[in-house]
A = this chain, B = another copy of it.
Amino acid sequence: MITRIDHIGIACRDLDASIDFYRRTYGFEVFHQEVNEEQGVKEAMLRISGTDDGGSSYLQLLEPIRPDSAIAKYLAKNGEGVHHVAFGTADVRAETAAATDAGVRALYPEPRRGTSGSTINFLHPKDCQGILTELVQSAEATPEH
């Protein structure tokens, strides 16, 4: 079951400049920063609100650290903007299986590590009405089964 919009993933060319933009314009602050070598990004999570499943909603700002990363390719093709939408769930495996049963392809055969020790998978944008969709299980979330 999907229980929140976990985050909106935003491709940016300069992470520090984007953090500065969101601080100046809306007062958003950095909740967490990390480098994800596997995904080829450095990133900042800006927490926007809590959600009634006990989680939170964030903006995730993503700057590529390698020219072959998915974010670098996105920027070269589209420029800065919304890269993906991430839904939060207590069980990323079950949610991925449900999507697959509905005819939607997952990008990974097994979930991978996401931000802050979360477990994630992605659903193919061509199967999701043009939207690259991430499924996120927080590190602290307990599987339902």
Interface residues of A (CB under 8 A from B): 1-5, 8, 10, 12, 18, 21, 24-28, 48-53, 57, 78-82, 85, 87, 95, 98-99, 102, 104, 125, 128-131
Contacts and interface: CB of A to CB of B under 8 A. Distances in A.
Which label, helix, strand, loop or mixed, suits the secondary structure of the A interface? mixed
A13 to B, nearest CB: 9
Copies of this polypeptide in the complex: 2
A2 B81 CA distance: 20
B87 A18 contact: no
A3 B57 CA distance: 10
Most buried by B among A12, A27, A49, A82: A49
A23 to B, nearest CB: 9
Instruction: Pick from A4, A18, A51, A53 the residue with the most CB of B within 10 Å.
Output: A51
A80 B10 contact: no
